[in-house]
């Protein structure tokens, strides 16, 4: 037997200097991810077990039951899909659109653009209605477009992370149902943090993520669909063009059969069960109230410092605040200063808001009065150091 030769771009002496993995402490007050709850991290660190182990199958049922509570729905097919939020977003398109079918997408920010991109890739007939980044659609505008265009699916982002807009959803589901149209909602920045009533609002399809309101690391994307959506899926004329995200296959694993589909991220499901358990223990309405109260405290504090918020009070998103960068301030310099010197992350603007706003997230475990006070104090004491001009005012 010949001696194997190990191939490396570095020799063993150079490799030996690598230490144990270390991550500096960070308070993540940007658009996501948010900090995971310590109890969630404890659950994540448990020893993996098999994805068909009876103990894991029992845990899967717990996760589904807790997700139904958090979604406020009774949908049988409710599960955490393997992958970050974009995985469930793509599943919502791949499973429910066939080539040439009409989808109407209400776009008011970056993630509306992503829905358009995905729908185009699956060869849908895409119609788009748009609002400036910072505004919401009215019920009347949406009703008119659905009744006029008669799409198979109407899709909208509930909490637009790029602009800081919370879109009212009440009544839209009724219009969709009357027009034989599925109502698809992106709830990535609202699930587990803001009022969201899947059954009451007649939402047919919805998806989210694990790393924001659920206080978990990134890696899972909660998804739910009702009977109307199931009927549409079962009546497809063609095979779902994405094997990994095929809900008819995933249903066999997350349904009563528990038939293997792909190796589940078992530790992430340990984590999401714990995050959902913590929400249930706090009580969903208490969670919603906490997020709203802390957001208002932040908004009032920023305005008392003379800063201007990007979105009007009527449509302001409690989990993600967009605040305009004062014209005399180096926006990137200030963000980097907070990160390097205080371990606090806030986000830059996305797309057309890049360099114009900061995005401040208060989600899940991070939505606390202490975090609001800490950030406001730093804005008050540190911001003027990053003025482009020497001035005591913004």
Q: What is the pLDDT of residue 274?
A: 98
Flag whether pLDDT at 2 surpasses 60.
no
Q: What is the pLDDT of residues 207-266, one digit of tens each?
A: 999 999 999 999 999 999 999 999 999 999 999 999 999 999 999 988 878 888 898 999
Q: pLDDT > 70: what percent of the chain?
A: 94
Q: How confident is the model at residue 165 (pLDDT cuts 50, 70, 90)?
A: very high
Between the alpha carbon of residue 100 and those of residues 123, 124, 237, the distances in Å are: 6, 5, 12
Q: What is the pLDDT of residue 17?
A: 77
Flag whether pLDDT at 9 surpasses 70.
no
Flag whether pLDDT at 68 surpasses 50.
yes
What does the mean pLDDT of the chain come to?
94
The Cα 278–Cα 41 span in angstroms is: 13
The Cα 365–Cα 232 span in angstroms is: 37
Cβ neighbors of 227 (< 8 A, separation 6 or more) are 75
Mean pLDDT, to the nearest integer, of 108-123? Answer: 95
Helix, strand, coil percentages for the chain (3-state, nearest 5): 40, 15, 45
Flag whether pLDDT at 194 surpasses 90.
yes
Helices (H), the chain: 12-15, 38-44, 54-71, 85-94, 110-121, 139-149, 172-178, 227-234, 247-254, 266-282, 284-304, 331-342, 369-382
Beta pairing partners, 27 = 344
Q: What is the pLDDT of residue 249?
A: 94
Mean pLDDT, to the nearest integer, of 157-173? Answer: 97
Flag whether pLDDT at 100 surpasses 60.
yes
Q: Running DSSP on this structure, what letter comes out for residue 133?
A: B
The Cα 287–Cα 280 span in angstroms is: 9
Nearest one of 35, 56, 22 to 267, comparing CA atoms: 56
Q: What is the pLDDT of residue 393?
A: 47
138 SS3 class: coil
Q: pLDDT > 90: what percent of the chain?
A: 88
Mean pLDDT, to the nearest integer, of 167-196? Answer: 98
pTM: 0.94
In contact, 169 and 158? CB cutoff 8 Å: yes
Between the alpha carbon of residue 118 and those of residues 90, 91, 115, 239, the distances in Å are: 7, 10, 5, 17
The Cα 307–Cα 379 span in angstroms is: 10
Q: What is the pLDDT of residue 54?
A: 93
Cβ neighbors of 65 (< 8 A, separation 6 or more) are none
| Rounded (10°) angle between helices 284-304 and 266-282 | 80
Beta pairing partners, 224 = 78, 206
Q: What is the pLDDT of residue 160?
A: 97
Q: What is the pLDDT of residue 384?
A: 80
Question: Beta strand 344-345 with 27-28: parallel, antiparallel or unpaired?
Answer: parallel
Mean pLDDT, to the nearest integer, of 42-66? Answer: 95
Determine which of 38-42, 65-69, 386-390 has the lowest per-residue pLDDT on average: 386-390
H/E stretch holding 339:
helix 331-342
Q: What is the pLDDT of residue 392?
A: 44
Q: How confident is the model at residue 353 (pLDDT cuts 50, 70, 90)?
A: very high
Let me know if 158 is exposed, middle or buried by CB neighbors in 10 A (0-12, 13-18, 19+). buried
Tell me the chain's radius of gyration from C-alpha atoms: 23
The Cα 193–Cα 315 span in angstroms is: 16
Distance of CA 24 to the CA centre of its chain: 24
Q: What is the pLDDT of residue 256?
A: 78
Q: What is the pLDDT of residue 385?
A: 83
Q: What is the pLDDT of residue 387?
A: 75
Domains and CATH numbers, the chain: 27-33+283-386 (3.90.1150.10), 38-281 (3.40.640.10)
Q: How confident is the model at residue 8 (pLDDT cuts 50, 70, 90)?
A: low
Q: What is the pLDDT of residue 390?
A: 43
282 SS3 class: helix
Mean pLDDT, to the nearest integer, of 310-339? Answer: 96
Q: How confident is the model at residue 388 (pLDDT cuts 50, 70, 90)?
A: low
Mean pLDDT, to the nearest integer, of 374-388? Answer: 89
In this structure, what token pair is assigned to residue 139? 């019920």
Q: How confident is the model at residue 290 (pLDDT cuts 50, 70, 90)?
A: very high
Q: What is 232-281 written as a DSSP string?
A: HHHT-SS--S-STT-HHHHHHHHSTT----S---HHHHHHHHHHHHHHHH
């Amino acid at each position: 037997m010949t001696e194997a030769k190990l191939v490396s771009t570095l020799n063993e002496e150079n490799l030996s200097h690598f230490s144990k993995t270390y991550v500096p402490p960070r308070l993540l007050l940007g658009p996501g991810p948010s900090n995971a709850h310590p109890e969630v991290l404890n659950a994540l660190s448990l020893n993996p077990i098999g994805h068909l182990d009876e103990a894991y199958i029992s845990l899967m049922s717990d996760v589904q039951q807790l997700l139904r509570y958090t979604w406020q729905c009774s949908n049988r097919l409710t599960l955490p899909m393997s992958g970050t939020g974009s995985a469930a977003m793509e599943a919502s398109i791949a499973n429910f659109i066939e080539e040439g079918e009409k989808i109407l997408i209400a776009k008011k920010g970056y993630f509306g653009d992503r829905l358009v991109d995905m729908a185009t890739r699956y060869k849908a007939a895409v119609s788009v209605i748009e609002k400036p980044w910072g505004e919401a659609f009215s019920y009347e505008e949406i009703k008119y477009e659905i009744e006029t265009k008669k799409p198979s699916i109407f899709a909208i982002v509930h909490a637009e992370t790029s602009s800081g807009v919370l879109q009212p959803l009440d009544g839209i589901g009724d219009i969709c149902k009357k027009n034989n149209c599925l109502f698809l909602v992106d709830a990535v920045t609202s699930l587990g943090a803001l009022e969201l009533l899947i059954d009451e609002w007649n939402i047919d399809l919805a998806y989210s993520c694990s790393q924001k309101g659920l206080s978990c690391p990134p890696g899972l994307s909660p998804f739910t669909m009702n009977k109307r959506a199931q009927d549409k899926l079962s009546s497809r004329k063609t095979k779902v063009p994405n094997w990994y995200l095929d809900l008819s296959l995933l249903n066999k694993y997350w349904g009563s059969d528990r038939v293997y589909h792909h190796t589940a991220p078992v530790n992430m499901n340990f984590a999401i069960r714990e995050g959902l358990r913590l929400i249930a223990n706090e009580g969903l309405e208490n969670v919603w109230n906490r997020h709203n109260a802390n957001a208002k405290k932040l908004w009032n504090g920023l305005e008392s410092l003379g800063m201007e918020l990007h979105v009007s009070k009527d449509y302001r998103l409690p989990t993600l605040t967009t605040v305009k960068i004062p014209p005399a301030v180096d926006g990137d310099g200030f963000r980097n200063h907070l990160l390097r010197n205080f371990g606090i992350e806030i986000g830059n603007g996305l797309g057309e808001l890049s360099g114009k706003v900061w995005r401040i997230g208060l989600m899940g475990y991070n939505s606390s009065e202490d975090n609001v006070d800490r950030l406001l104090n730093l804005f008050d004491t540190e911001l003027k150091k990053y003025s482009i001009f020497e001035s005591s005012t913004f």
